Amino acid sequence: MKKIVTIILMLISINLIGQNLNECGIDNNPKLTQTESEFLNEYMTEYNKQNFDFTNKKVIFVTGNSGNKFGTKSEYFDQIKQLNRSNDKIATWVVKLNEKEQIESDYDVIVTYWVKVITEKRKRKILNEIKASR
């Protein structure tokens, strides 16, 4: 009986995540919606998100082997949706910003996808590019 209840709960939670995903990435506003925040808080493992809470956060999305290309929120979620169809997950990580970096860039965090390595030097370059574009 416990197995049946566990299976039913898993199916319900998978269905809810799928429904929430359809509401994610519908614009490119860097500030996450409540639905997007909830989805990412559930989707990413603690290891990937490093105990980061996405609620009401403003995100820089970067991609490319070394994080050398800016992505958009809609591109990021489109890739998650595409991979979700085959029950795969995107290779994604959180790069936390310290308080000074947050104030200077007006962003809370960098989210990488399909990035092998992001160095501190590359992180500074991303933040400088963000500041220069304002």
Q: What is the pLDDT of residues 34-83, one digit of tens each?
A: 999 999 999 998 888 889 999 999 999 999 999 999 999 999 999 999 99
Residue 112: strand, helix, or coil: strand
The number of CA neighbours under 13 Å toward the Cβ of 121 is 2
pLDDT band at 19 (very low <50, low <70, confident <90, very high): low
Greater model confidence, 11 or 23? 23
Give the Cα separation of 101 and 94 in Å (integer). 15
Question: Residue 3 above 50 pLDDT?
Answer: yes
Main-chain dihedrals φ then ψ at residue 10, nearest 5 degrees: -65, -45
Average pLDDT along the chain: 88
**What mean pLDDT comes out for the span 94-116?**
96
Greater model confidence, 16 or 125? 125
Cα Rg, the chain, nearest whole Å:
16
**pTM of this prediction?**
0.84
Question: Residue 134 above 80 pLDDT?
Answer: no
